[in-house]
Amino acid sequence: IGYAETGSALVSRADKVIFVGSVGVGRKVMETASRTLTPVILELGGKDPFIVCDDTKPKELAQLVVRGAYQNMGQNCAGPERFIVYDKVYDSFCEEIASLVKSMRQGPPLSSDFVDCGACVHPPSLENYQRLVDDAVAKGARVLAGGSRNNALPSGQFFEPTVLADVREDMLIAQEETFGPILSIFRVKGDSDAEAVRLANSCCFALSSCAHSGDQERAARICS
């Protein structure tokens, strides 16, 4: 039985459906459930913002950023994808993150001595990652690390941990869920809290959010 047939059978016979996945499949789940008036809860994508204020220390934040972006190779529902960084610390943030990501070791965890990151689950996803990276670069983004399939590991679904800087709202990667190992960095011009919040809200997808500042009350205010 294929994925579609299995899903349809489950939805049409369940008392309640909770689905986590893409918008396209979510529509099909809702359509099928509507025939039997089955209650449905849908969680259809995340593109979580991670705001880095001008009073943070990028070197101290780098490990948290990298873990958030590349845990499970970015294949997390509630995981940061958009790093919204204030002008004052933008260059140092980019430098710290790129240096750390370039040092990461990638490979199959069961047959390697030690790795920091592994492969991606869904084969077609690698083509989508490349599409998003290529579009961003064509529109002016800079690749600070990675940027393509890992050619040193041709037998698996390995996409390099990737860092993109100078990402803008008009790029596909700013609007589409990545669900993969790509860390996108946006610049907050003028170090404005209002501009950071505007950028965080400039996408139709969101699931969680966070802000980092030397002032806890400021961070809480931005997140609220």
Where in the sequence numbering do the catalytic residues fall? 43, 77
Residue environment code for 183-208, b if the CB has 16+ CB neighbours within 10 A, otherwise e: bbbbbbeeeebebbbebbeebeebbe
CA distance 128 to 146: 15
Whether the Cβ atoms of residue 42 and residue 19 lie closer than 8 Å to each other: yes
CA distance 183 to 185: 7
Nearest to 147 by CA among 135, 161, 157: 161
Q: How far is C-alpha 203 from the geometric centre of its chain's CA atoms?
A: 13
Do you know the residue count of the chain? 224
